[in-house]
Amino acid sequence: MVDVADAGARAPLPDLLSLAADFTWRTGADFRVEDASPLDVACDPAVIQLLRGARLDRLAQRTLYPAQGEAFSDLLHRQVPMRDVALSFVQRDGSVANFTLTGTPQDGGGYVGVGKVWSGRPFDEQHRGELVELLERAEANRNREMRLREEADVLLASLRALIQPSPLADKCADLFNLFSRLLRFDEALVVRRRTRDELLAVVATDPRLTGLQWPPGDVINAALMGEALLVEDLATVREWNDFPDIMRERFRNALVAPITIGNEAAMLVALHARPGFFEPSQLALMQRLSLIATQAFEVDEQKNVLINTAKLATLGELMTVIAHEISQPLSVIAMAVKNAKLALEAVGESNHGMAAERAIVDSKLDRIHDQALRAGEIISAIRTLAHPDRRTLGLRPVSVTEIMDNIRNLTEGSLRNRGIELICEAPPYCRALKANPVSLQQVFLNLVVNARDAITEYCKRRGEPTKGVIHVAVYDDGVSDRLVVEVQDTGGGIPADVMNRIFDAFFTLKEVGHGSGLGLAICRTLMTDMGGNIAAFNREGGAVFRLEIPTYVEEAAS
Amino acid sequence: MNVASNKTDKKPTILVVDDDFDLRTELAELFGRVGYSVLEAANGIEAVEIARDQRPDVVLMDVGMPQLGGVRAAEIMTLLRHTEQVVLMSGNPEMVAEAASHRGLAPIVLNKPLSFDICRRVIDSLVKAGG
């Protein structure tokens, strides 16, 4: 105890003693332990024995835990305070001595300090392994957290960019910029279908890539099927040689995710020059980004729809006025010509001398009459297409057989003249439709007239007398909420290359001057308004137009 | 046979109503040529008065007219039973059919510009059916 008191006089030992110590120790300037004395009877004598006469730096070299020993040596030679340096020794009998040393450097060199003995597991390699693992896990978590935070930042910024009322191109540029913080791609693009066989990059980070043709093949097929994929090396895909040079020179690695523009499948592509740059784990991220890109396009499409609707509303108002103002004089022209014709006929009966001239005047009058009516038809067709009040027309129960009878009455004459047979078939107990009778009749009429013209054209092209069948069939399965009506003709079918355009306004297969190109567009608009659907396909040498019309369901009495 | 010959003896009467002088006179002339006796009116009020006095077999009437429109005039004529049949003409037939159906009417509405052939077919069938 005297030693301790002496040491206390030279160093702040009382501070150290306040740490529930088991023994005290002191070294000389050469770090040899000059004194080690137990403070407690429970203190392990083996530790005291080990310490007495040992040099601290050597002692440190012999510890079970080498890294700890090295750190200890460094500590000693810099003569800084030691804080609970833990040491573990295997003794001759195989048991392990564990203790910590805490000490302060002395003025004359050397240390004075206290120590604590503890039992239990030595401070060993396994312990260290666990520690390292913990540290690594903490580090990994920190990285992951950083990445997630970055991702969250980007997603949030993307959302902000999405709601900005900027043009689509600017919006995409912003989004791609943000995406590049997460994916580190060289360039990115959105590829969508322009026509049936043409796929174009509509938006790209590099303006030189905009308008780039993406070749058909495995990559686009997968994306259009809604599959995200990682292409390790683009040079290994079948379509590699079909890519434009600008692509092949610059990019080898691609991440591809499907997106939806309108109702149509498209794809988002991230490109990098180095094969294998992107990792499979980035696919999930890519898919999340593709959702955002989809949103950007969706917002844009909706805006377009709104603009179109607004345009149509204005156009509709204009057309209503025009329809009224122009139809009046057109009616007068048609009537006047008819009068002239009838007058001419009356004259003709009494005067046979001018047969040739009369025939000419007659044909001219016919032409004036027909043209006036055609102008009128175009005007009413445009009005039907554009009229904003169309939707206010009520839907009510409609009998499909009644409509078919009307159509038969309206078209029978012109069909019989052309040698075309109209066959209408409906099951005996057919459910009522929920539709607007005028609209539905117009759809049926348009389809029958179209079929008639298709057959006439077809026969004319083949140099045969006009002959054909128009088959209108109603199918009611009695279960689904829709009725199916098919109008089939024998007019040779619709050419495959125009199949997806036939419902577009102003698209026509008829000769110039014989069709407005609005008939099917109107059909589709009317069907959509009634909650129905229209589709076209070819079957047995003819075109089939398939209508799906909602059935009428009696409202439950409340 | 007897009844039928009686009918052919008596010309069916049509009342043509349109505020457009040119169209009205052309229509009147045309129906005159194909064997109708024709009455004319320039607006709905005239039309109702003439219908009351002369009881035409069929009325062919424009919808958009000053003072009294075609739909209202058709409603009055039908309520007072001045005539059996009213055919309306409009550049916007669906709207007219809708408007008329709100008034409990189901008139035939012809699309303007008119085709005389269709117009005549409709009128002929009405006159035959209505007797």
Q: What DSSP line would sit under A437-461, residue for residue?
A: HHHHHHHHHHHHHHHHHHHHHHHHH
pLDDT at A544: 92
Q: Do B115 and A332 touch (CB under 8 A)?
A: no
State how many domains chain A has.
4
Per-residue model confidence (pLDDT) at position B109? 85
- Residues A506, A381: contact at Cβ < 8 Å? no
A495 belongs to a structural domain? yes
Q: Are residues A231 and A380 in the same domain?
A: no
pLDDT of B6: 43
Mark whether A401 and A538 lie in a shared domain: yes
- Cβ-based contacts under 8 A for chains A and B: 81
Shared domain for A276 and A362, answered yes or no, is no
Strand order in the sheet with B58-62: B37-41, B13-17, B58-62, B85-90, B108-111
List residues of B whose CB lies inside 8 A of any A CB: 20, 22-23, 26-27, 29-30, 33-34, 64, 89, 91-95, 97-98, 111-116
Are residues A438 and B116, on separate chains, in Cβ contact within 8 Å?
A: no
pLDDT score of A381 more than 80: no
Q: What is the ipTM of this complex?
A: 0.75
Q: What are the tens digits of pLDDT across the range B8-22?
A: 557 899 999 998 888
Q: Which residue has the higher pLDDT, A240 or A125?
A: A240
Q: What is the pLDDT of residue A94?
A: 67
Q: Is the pLDDT of residue A392 over 90?
A: no
Nearest to A339 among B26, B89, B114 (CB): B26
Chosen from A318, A319, A332 to mutate, greatest number of chain B CBs within 10 A: A332
Whether residues A487 and A525 share a domain: the answer is yes
**Total number of domains in chain B:** 1
Question: Residue written as tokens 């080990």?
Answer: A50
Judged by CB atoms closer than 8 Å, whether chains meet at B92 and A373 is answered as no
Phi, psi angle pair for A191, to nearest 5°: -110, 130
A59: which 2 tokens? 């002692």
Indicate the residue type of A357. Answer: E
- The three state secondary structure string of B7-48 is HHHCCCEEEEECCCHHHHHHHHHHHHHCCCEEEEECCHHHHH
Same domain, A333 and A197: no
Q: Which residue has the higher pLDDT, A84 or A25?
A: A25
- Dist CA A50 CA A538 (whole Å): 100
Residue-number span of the structural domain to which B56 is assigned: 2-130
- The answer to whether residues A293 and A164 belong to one domain is yes
Contact by Cβ (8 Å): A421, A456:
no
**B23 contact residues in A (CB cutoff 8 A):** 328, 331-332, 335
Alpha carbon dihedral A311, A316, A317, A322, in 10-degree steps, equals 120
Residue after which a domain boundary falls, among A277, A300, A323: A300
| Strand pairing class (A264-272; A187-195) | antiparallel
Residue A11 has pLDDT above 50, yes or no: no
Cβ proximity of A52 and A36 under 8 Å: yes
> Does residue A512 register a pLDDT over 70?
no
Q: How many Å apart are CA A381 and CA A329, to the nearest integer?
A: 17
Mean pLDDT across A324-336: 82
Could you tell me if A220 and A109 lie in one domain? no
| Residue with more model confidence, A444 or A90 | A444
- Closest Cα of chain A to B25: distance in Å? 9
What is the domain range of residue A47?
Answer: 2-123
Chain segment B57-96, per-residue pLDDT in tens: 999 998 887 777 788 888 888 878 777 688 888 877 777 7
Residues of A with CB under 8 A from a CB of B: 320, 323-324, 326-332, 334-336, 338-339, 342-343, 346, 372-373, 375-376, 379-380, 383-384, 387, 389-390, 392-394, 436, 438-439
Residue A49 is which amino acid? Q
A335 with B20: Cβ contact below 8 A: no
> Looking at residue A373, which CATH number applies to its domain?
1.10.287
Contact (CB<8Å) B33/A336 = no
Q: What is the average pLDDT score of chain A?
A: 78
Same-domain status, A540 and A403 = yes
pLDDT of residue B36: 93
pLDDT at A9 over 70: no
> CA of A340 to nearest chain B CA: how many angstroms apart?
9
Nearest CB among A338, A373, A439 relative to B30 is that of: A338
Residue A546: band (very low, low, confident or very high) from pLDDT cuts 50, 70, 90:
very high
CA distance B118 to chain A (A): 9
Residue A514's pLDDT band, with cuts at 50, 70 and 90, is low
Q: Which residues of A touch B89 (CB under 8 A)?
A: 331
Q: Per-residue pLDDT for A388 more than 50?
A: no
Q: A207 to chain B, minimum CA–CA distance in Å?
A: 49
Band (A44; pLDDT cuts 50, 70, 90): confident
With H, G, I as helix, E, B as strand and everything else as coil, classify residue A184: coil
Measured distance CA(A332)–CA(B18) in Å, rounded: 12
B116 contacts A338? CB cut-off 8 A: yes
Same structural domain, A337 and A272: no
Q: What is the CATH number of the domain that holds A16?
A: 3.30.450.20
B68: CATH = 3.40.50.2300
Angle at A252 (CA atoms; ends A249, A253), nearest 5 degrees:
150
CB–CB of B113 and A394 under 8 A?
no
CA distance B12 to chain A (A): 19
- Which of B23, B64, B94 lies closest to A331 in CB terms? B23
B115, A334: Cβ pair inside 8 Å? yes
What pLDDT is recorded for position A557? 41
Q: Is residue A129 part of a domain?
A: no
Give the mean model confidence (pLDDT) for residues A21-29.
86
Choose from B34, B61, B101, B116 for mutation: most chain A CBs within 10 A.
Answer: B116
Task: Based on the fold, state whether residues A231 and A254 are members of the same structural domain.
Answer: yes
Determine which of A177-186, A274-283, A354-363, A412-421 has the lowest per-residue pLDDT on average.
A354-363
Answer yes or no: do A150 and A290 share one domain. Answer: yes
| Cα separation, A10 vs A354, whole angstroms | 149
A327 CB neighbours in chain B (<8 A) are: 91, 112-113
Looking at A92, A123, A154, the residue that finishes a domain is A123
- Residues composing chain B: 131
Same domain assignment for residues A149 and A266: yes
Give bridge partners of residue A204 from the DSSP assignment.
Answer: A189
**Which residue of chain B is at minimal alpha-carbon distance from A341?**
B30
